[in-house]
Amino acid sequence: MSAVLPLGWAVLLPVLLLAVTWAVVAADVLAAGRAGGRPVPWTVAALTPAREALRLLVGQRRRAVGGDELLRGIGGAVLPLAALLAAVVLPLGLRPVADLGVGIVWFNAMEVFAWAAVWLVGWGSNSTLSLIGGYRFVAQGLAWELPHMFALITAAVGAQSLRVTDVVAAQQGLWFVVIMPVAFVAFLLSVAAMAFWGPFGAPVGRDVAGGAAAELGGVDRLVFVTGRWLLLVAAAAMAVPLFLGGGHGPWLPAWAWVLVKTLAVLAAVVALRHRLPTIRMERWTEFSLVVLTPATIAQALVVTLVALGEGGLR
């Protein structure tokens, strides 16, 4: 069970992630068209990610006036790298690319890089609106990180291991979403918040003219936007091994179950996104600290008590 995928998968992983990201972006275009009352044919939607990428590839890079190029460059590059490194512990089937003993902590640590990334891009652009976008993401990060960590810890307690493959193995009979629904919901919310996407898109919102990304052009914007989508995909995919039984399921092979479940989570997230307005940071912080954090702590407590009752922590 603890076996790791062959090394070649390290190369395949980004390709897989990008393929799923492509599908998600296309689905998002479709959903946006439907929500706006101007449906987009699926052939057009399927090509849109490629068109947008090409548009940004041929586009000129911009240097912000008086900006800090180094910080901005680092910030932009960190985003997709963090997503890729977080995805390393994702079991594709039953085995991940790297089966770290502290996989869950690793995953969380990689996501937190997004804080630095967005802030650096917002700061390095030397523009008021970008800076406001950066501020917003830091505030948002403070709000989502606590419930997010408690959600991760709850899954780890349920399996009594920080190793992601152990968490999957522990769900052979019962998916964790059944015994820890609050943690699952908190995890999904923080997934969108961490990718500053959908209802949590204020850091790159329209009101601040693109926020942290306002001054990015050409390939810089491509890397930033792709990194954001990759983060969303990687984090949503993590919900599968943590709460939805990973590769376990009847009839289909493990990898197919992982793919199906990941796509289902992403489809639900995309469909929900277009029904909701953007959440303001000050309201979200309040909700997160007053409601969500205590709820996830209570959830962790319940799961811990159950684990103790079933024969104690190892």
Partner 1 sequence: MDLRNALLRAAAARPHVLVVGGVGTDRLRARVEQEIARRRWPVATAPADADVLVVVGRPGPELDPVIDGVWAAVPVPRSRAQITGEDEIASALEAAVRTLSDLTAQHALALRDGLPTAHTDTSPGEQDQHADGHDEQTGHDEHSGSHHHQEGGMELPGGLAMADLGEDRDGLVLDQLHVALGPVLPEWPSGLVVDVVLQGDVIQEARSRFLDLDLDDRDAPECLPDAARALDSAARVLALVGWDGPAARARGLRDALLFDRVDGSRVLEEVDDLRRRVRRSRLLRWMLRSAEAGRSEVLETLHDKLLSARCAVAGAGGAAPVAVDLPALDSRLVGAEFAAARLIVAVADPQPQPTLTRPADRGGAS
Binding site for partner 1 (CB under 8 A): 32-38, 40, 44, 48, 51-52, 54-55, 57-63, 65-66, 126-129, 132, 135, 199, 201-202, 205-210, 213-218, 221, 274-283
CB of residue 9 vs partner 1: minimum separation in angstroms? 32
In the complex, minimum distance from the CB of residue 24 to partner 1, in angstroms, rounded to a whole number: 17
Phi first, then psi, for residue 19 (nearest 5°) are: -65, -45
Closest distance to partner 1 from the beta carbon of 28 (Å): 11
CB of 59 to partner 1, least distance (A): 5
Distance CA 155, CA 160 (A): 8
Q: Which is nearer to partner 1, 6 or 36 (CB)?
A: 36
Minimum distance from residue 286 beta carbon to partner 1 (Å): 9
**Of 136 and 248, which CB lies nearer to partner 1 in the complex structure?**
136
Measure the CA–CA gap between 290 and 197, rounded to whole angstroms. Answer: 22
Rounded-to-integer distance, Cα 253 and Cα 272, Å: 29
Nearest to 285 by CA among 142, 95, 138, 114: 142
Closest to partner 1 by CB, 31 or 89: 31
Instruction: Look up residue 53 and give its two tokens.
Output: 């990428």
- Taking a C-beta distance cutoff of 8 angstroms, is the pair 150, 296 a contact? yes
Q: What are φ and ψ of residue 216, in 5° steps?
A: -90, 135
The residues, ordered by sequence, that sit 6+ positions from 67 with a Cβ below 8 Å of its Cβ are 124, 125, 126, 127, 215
- Distance in Å, CB of 17 to partner 1, minimum: 24
Q: Which one, 160 or 278, has the nearer CB to partner 1?
A: 278
Half-sphere exposure of 216 (CA within 13 A, CB side): 29
Q: How many CB atoms lie within 10 A of CB 3?
A: 10
Axis crossing angle, helix 8-35 with helix 42-58, rounded to the nearest 10: 120
Which DSSP letter does residue 280 get? P
What is the rounded CA–CA span in Å between residue 255 and residue 133?
Answer: 38
Q: Which C-beta is closer to partner 1: that of 175 or that of 197? A: 197
Residue 98 is given by DSSP the state S
Min separation Cβ 105 and partner 1, Å: 33
DSSP assignment of 24-69 equals HHHHHHHHHHHHTT----HHHHHHHHHHHHHHHHHSPP---TT--H
Comparing CB distances to partner 1, the nearer of 109 and 206 is 206
Q: What amino acid occupies position 38?
A: R
Shortest Å distance, C-beta 36 to partner 1 = 3
Nearer to partner 1 among residue 56 and residue 152 (C-beta): 56
Q: Which CB sits closer to partner 1, 207 or 301? A: 207
